[in-house]
Amino acid sequence: MRTPKAPKAEPAPRGPGGDPLVGERYEVEVGAVAHGGGHCVARHEGRVLFVRHALPGEKVIAQVTEGTTKSRFLRADAVEILEPAKDRIAPPCPFSGPGKCGGCDWQHVTPGGQRKLKVQVLTEQLAKLAGLTPVEAGWDGSVEPVGGKLPAGEVPAWRSRVQYAVDPATGKVGLRKHRSHDLQPIDRCLIAAPGVTELGIESREWPGVASVDAIAATGSSDRQVVLVPRPGAQLPIVELDKPVSISRIDEHEGFHRVHGRTFVREVAVGRTWRVSNGGFWQIHPEAPDTLVNAVLDGLDPQYGENALDLYCGVGLFAGALADRVGEEGAVLGIESGKQAVVDARHNLAALENVRIECDKVESLLPRTGITATDLIVLDPPRAGAGRETVAHLVALEARRIAYVACDPAALARDLAFFREGGYRPVSLRAFDLFPMTHHFECVAILEPIGEPVA
């Protein structure tokens, strides 16, 4: 569950040849929502269009943004709504819409409508890639709101980490447009947490800077701004109105060197966590507690049990498991990020029943000599764990496995691999931890099919 950062530019797709269709407009009826990208599927004269800023059931004018006469499919924006869906609203953000900021996919949808779209995506991926119905997956068919329900038109300010790009000509910050290197200048991001907005990043100029990361820790007053300079540029002297640590990351031949204070303190599940160098941490303030509680409820750890925390980051799940299994139990965390391992060891230094190792899961786990365990938590990157890693995990004969996923397609593929190995999901929960975007988080609990092997 490597949660999504602010949108970055994607490389331009390699064209298939043919005459360009960019700018062409077609009247289309919009079909189902598709996985990824916040778009829906439509067709024009037999060709598929992936249309953003549209909703299922609408009739729209779609303007092509990518594709040629020989493309297998086209990308497009809904630039005129002829017959709107009932869940459509006017986007609250002035920077949302065709050709604008690519960060929010569904500013034009009611909060309830957004969750319904996510339900449709997860349902389709489970059926298509795992061969599971919601009932077979142990899922009640809902995406649970986090932080309370909001009325239509009200935007939740949840994003505690925002990465801004900087216009080299003006020094002003903005966010990337969808699938583009182009910048959308902004004076405020509506989904940014109050602690980020208070830093005033958007109101000043950043000469010589390529990007600005703004971090507002949850549960502490720590604020951090991470600057990446342009090659050969002299960074400006930065003075902000709020107390904040300023870090600089120099990039040289693939290596990063950090100057200045390098960490913030996050507070979650009753513990303070050090997170260094703008490293990975859940960006919704309520995500750590929400996900840990879902994992613990599903696993029901018992005193004296052994557990694995794979892709463990700075130790969030390992710490929660260690508290439950007690001094007679043991937890092994595996993480490939060197700085995250340093942080995890610092965060969990008082827990003698925890060990954190640094390596890739697929490389280290077979070398540990572990042949069995009671519990497993895995929180892989967006691509998922994959067949080989899943095969190794099922051989450990854990009584329960918790799979935390930010991509429904990767989750569904891995659930199919687990089923091949004799494990099935007994519960699945989905959480709306990224409102206004197409992203959401899932926690699946798996058990052996039939009686667990002793």
406 part of the active site: yes
- Please count the other Cβ atoms lying within 10 Å of the Cβ belonging to residue 84: 15
Between the alpha carbon of residue 8 and those of residues 101, 165, 177, the distances in Å are 11, 9, 8
Q: Other C-beta atoms within 10 Å of 240: how many?
A: 15
Other CB atoms closer than 10 Å to residue 389's CB: what's the count? 20
Taking a C-beta distance cutoff of 8 angstroms, is the pair 396, 371 a contact? Answer: yes
Selected catalytic residue, list 40, 104, 406, 442: 406
How far apart (Å, rounded) are the C-alpha atoms in residues 273 and 344? 8
CA distance 134 to 426: 11
Beta strand segments in 36-172, E:
39-44, 47-52, 59-66, 73-83, 139-145, 161-166
Own/partner pairs for 242-247, CB < 8 Å, 24+ apart?
242/198, 242/199, 242/200, 244/199, 247/277, 247/278
**Residue 303, marked binder:** no
CA geometry: angle 358, 360, 363, nearest 5 deg: 110
Collapsed DSSP state (helix, strand, coil) of residue 309: strand
Phi, psi of 401 (to 5 degrees): -130, 135
**Given the structure tokens 């189902």, which residue do they identify?**
32
How does strand 330-335 pair with strand 354-358? parallel
User: From CA 39, how far away is CA 77, in angstroms rounded?
Assistant: 9
Beta bridge partners, 267, equal: 272
Q: Which of 444, 340, 431 is nearest to 158 (CA)?
A: 431
The response to whether 182 counts as a known ligand-binding position is: no
- Among 122, 119, 264, smallest CA distance to 193 is for 264
Q: Which residues pair with 431 in a beta bridge?
A: 144, 441
Residue 107 annotated as lining a ligand binding site: no
**Residue 346 and residue 341: Cα distance in Å, rounded?**
8
Closest CA to 164 of 119, 198, 209, 133: 209
Cβ neighbours of residue 281 under 8 Å, at least 6 residues apart? 161, 266, 273, 275, 288, 313, 314
Residues annotated as part of the active site: 406
Binding-site residue positions for S-adenosyl-L-methionine: 282, 311, 335, 379
Binding-site residue positions: 282, 311, 335, 379
